[in-house]
Amino acid sequence: ALITGATGGIGEATAQVYLREGAKVMLVGRSADKLAETRERLGHTDATATFATDAADEAGVRESVAATVAAFGGLDIVFANAGTEGHVKPLTDLTTDDYEQVLRTNVVGPWLTIKHATPALTERGGGSVIVTSSIAGAVGFPGLSAYVASKHAVNGLTKTAAIELAPANIRVNAIAPGMIDNRMLHSIAGQIDEDHADAVLEGLAPHISMQRLGRSEEIAELALFLGSDESSYCTGSVHLMDGGYVAA
């Protein structure tokens, strides 16, 4: 398996469950130091390797796939999980650079990962691609226009890739997490109100049907299902995992 954004909460948690089930995992992220720390925490150094690159660097993405095949003999599962929240600002206050940074990481990144992983997956007779979307791909959030736009785009990419790659027996699905208690949500809360970020986080639960934030480990279990043969008839789907936020 290859996981981008592997040093984040969801990425590391997913690596842990994949390793638990006997997979070998290539951890991909921007920081070599953070990747080394993540690999050490996972504790399965015989079944893991790391590759440092930006998710939207085409040469780096291509090389990360090649490194995975070289290290493990092939590639069966791809989790395009790298993402950024960007700046929390009204859309009229964002710069072109602000917008493009988010779109490059959140849209161009997954596209490049799928593009360059497809030959390796095809060589194995097929496989599973999972893309991290968000509830922001289903509803809008003021102050997060670039992020919301990027996740709507990810949903479209997922559905189109699923159609195009089905003849190669490659399934493509997206996970749309809700309010997950991890770095990204804490960053958004801090940008909303730097002095009262904890209060912002506490104020989210009443808007969620299950009255609590989610955990990265819960998302990881869905990524395990989608990466496995248990989901063999599942492709082109966007799977909300949000504690009932959108339903409410």
| Residues designated as active site | 147
Residue in the block written with tokens 């730097």: 194
How would you classify the pairing of strands 127-132 and 2-4?
unpaired
> Do 108 and 215 form a contact (C-beta atoms < 8 A)?
no
Residue 175 near residue 239, CB atoms below 8 Å? yes
- Helix/strand/coil percent split, the chain, to 5: 55, 15, 30
Per the CB < 8 A criterion, the answer to whether 3 and 28 are in contact is: yes
Degrees to nearest 5, angle at CA 212 with 3 and 234: 40
Contact 134, 86 (CB under 8 A): no
What size, in residues, is the chain? 248
Backbone torsions φ then ψ of 212, nearest 5 degrees: -160, 160
CA 214, CA 242: separation in Å to the nearest integer? 7
